[in-house]
Amino acid sequence: MPLSRLRNRLSVALAGAGLLLAGCAHPSVGSDRDDPTEPVTLTFWHGWSTPGEMKAINDSVTRFEKRHRNITVKVVPNVTDETMNQALRAGGDDAPDVVSSFTTNNVGQYCSSGMWADLDPFLEKTGVVKEKVFPKTLLDYTSYRGEQCALPLLADSYGLYYNKDAFKEAGITRPPRTMSELKRDAVALTRRTEDGSYRRVGFMPDFRLYQNSPDRLFAQWEPRYFDAHGKSRLAKDPSTRQFLTFQRDLIEAQGGYGPLEKFRTTFGDEMSSQNAFLTQKVAMHMDGEWRGLMLRQAKAPFGWDTAPMPVPDDRADTYGKGYLTGTVIGIAHSSTHQNAAWELVKFLTTDTDQVVRFANAIHNVPSTKAALKSPELDADPTFRTFLRIAQNPRSVALPPSANGGQYVTALQDFSYDVEAGKVPDIGKGLRALDAQIDADTLQSEN
C-alpha cells in the first residue's frame, strides 16, 4: 500500500457514508456520443500523491497523449474518494471525466449509484474481451450485479514476509504453509527480555496492526460473505468461526491479548523507518508487494524473503493463494466525453507495455493476464511471489456490495472484540453481525 493509499483510509470511511446517500442521488447525465478523434481536454482524478507515484502516472499520460494527439489530459492528483464522490454527485463542468480509486470495497456503490458509467458497451464496441484480458478475481471486484462500471488499474496481493536470520536462529528451515505451522513457528520465534516483556514476537496477530485487517487473513479460508440474495451469511459459514477461533489460539500461544497489544503500541509508523518488521520486533508479517521495495530502500539489516500466507490445515492443497485488492478506474457518468475518456481508460488498463511499465514504476502487481507473464516485469524473486499469488485461481478478493465497505468495517469492529475476549459466544455474535450488515445493506438500497 503506497503512502497515498494509507492517507486515504479516513476518506474511504467518509466516502462510504456519503455513497449511501449517493444511491438515492441522480447524477448528471453525460454523453457517449462524442467523437474521440476530435480535439478534447479530459480531466483525470486519481489518489496517488508521492513524487514517484505522480511521476509514474504523469509518464503514463504522456505516453497516451503521444498516441492520441487530439486528446489532452489534465491530471489532478491526491484526490480522496470523498472529494471525488461529492464532485460526481454535483456534476457540471468541474467534475472529472476519468476517475480512479483505491477502494475496491465501494465498487458496488459506484455501480448501483449510477455515478460511474457502465463500461461493457465501450468494451464491446472496441473489441476488448474482458475475460481474455483480466484475471477473473480482478473482474469480480470491479463489477456489481453484472455491471462492469470499473476496470482494474494494477493490483495488490498479500503474502508473508519473514526474517531469514531469525528463522535460522530458531532452526526453522522454511516458511509455514499451514495455520498450525504458523502458530508453531510464531511461538518458536518469539523472544523475551529478562523482565519477561517482548523483544520480538513471531507473528503479531493483532487486527489493528498495519495491514492486518481481519478480511485479509480471513481470505485464506475462502469465505462466502453473502448468499445468492445478497444476505450476509457469516454465521452460517463454518470457516468464519474457524478463522476467529484460530486468531484467539494464535494470540494465546504467544502470551495473550493484553501483553501483545501493549507490545504493539511500541511499534513505529507502518511507512516509517520504525516499521515493526524492519526493526525486527516481528519475525513474520503479512503485507503487500510494495513492502519489498521499501525494505530494499531502507537497507534492512537482516536477510528476508517472501512466501504465500499459510492456509487452514484442512486446505493444505490450496497453499499459494492470497488476498487480492487494487486500484480501480472508471468513467464519470456525468462526462460528456465518454468515448475519449474510454480511450484513456483502455490504454491505462489493457495496453500490455503500459501496464508493465506502470507496475514496475510503483512496484505494484500488473492487472492483466499478458502483463503478469511479461518478461519485462521486475525479476526480483521476492516480488514474483506476489505475481504468483495474483495468478492463483484460488486467491480471493472482497465481494462488491451495495453498502460498499460498511460490511468490512462491521467485520473489523466485531473481530476487534473477539480477539480482545469480549465475545463469549461467537455464534451469537456472528448472527448479530449478519443482522447488522443486512440492515446496512437495506438502508443503502432504499
Q: pLDDT tier at 1 (50, 70, 90 boundaries)?
A: low
* pLDDT tens-place string over residues 186-244: 999 999 999 999 999 999 999 999 999 999 999 999 999 999 998 999 999 999 999 99
341 pLDDT higher than 50: yes
Q: Tell me, what's the pLDDT at 27?
A: 56
252 pLDDT higher than 80: yes
* pLDDT tens-place string over residues 365-416: 999 999 999 999 988 999 999 999 999 999 999 998 877 789 999 999 999 9
Q: How many helices (H) and strands (E) does the chain have?
A: 20, 9
Q: Tell me, what's the pLDDT at 149?
A: 95
Do domains 3-156+324-391 and 160-318 share one topology? The answer is: yes
* pLDDT tens-place string over residues 259-275: 999 999 999 999 999 99
Q: H helices within 335-425, ranges in order?
A: 338-350, 352-362, 369-372, 381-391, 406-419
- The domain spans of the chain are 3-156+324-391, 160-318
CA 356/CA 178 separation, integer angstroms? 32
What pTM was computed for the model? Answer: 0.90
38 DSSP 8-state letter: S
What average pLDDT does this structure show over 90-97? 84
Q: Are the C-beta atoms of residues 135 and 369 closer than 8 Å to each other?
A: yes
State which H helix or E strand residue 292 sits in: helix 290-297
CA 158/CA 323 separation, integer angstroms? 5
What average pLDDT does this structure show over 107-118? 89
CATH number for the 160-318 domain, one of 3.20.20.300, 3.40.50.2000, 3.40.190.10, 3.40.50.10090?
A: 3.40.190.10
64 pLDDT higher than 80: yes
Superfamily of domain 3-156+324-391: Periplasmic binding protein-like II (3.40.190.10)
| Percent of all residues in the chain with a pLDDT value above 70, rounded to a whole number | 93
Q: Are the C-beta atoms of residues 175 and 228 closer than 8 Å to each other?
A: no
Q: Tell me, what's the pLDDT at 5?
A: 55
Q: Tell me, what's the pLDDT at 28?
A: 64
Residue 114 vs residue 348, higher pLDDT = 348
14 pLDDT higher than 60: no
Tell me whether residue 378 is exposed, middle or buried, using C-beta atoms within 10 angstroms of its C-beta: 0 to 12, 13 to 18, 19 or more: middle
CA 264/CA 260 separation, integer angstroms? 6
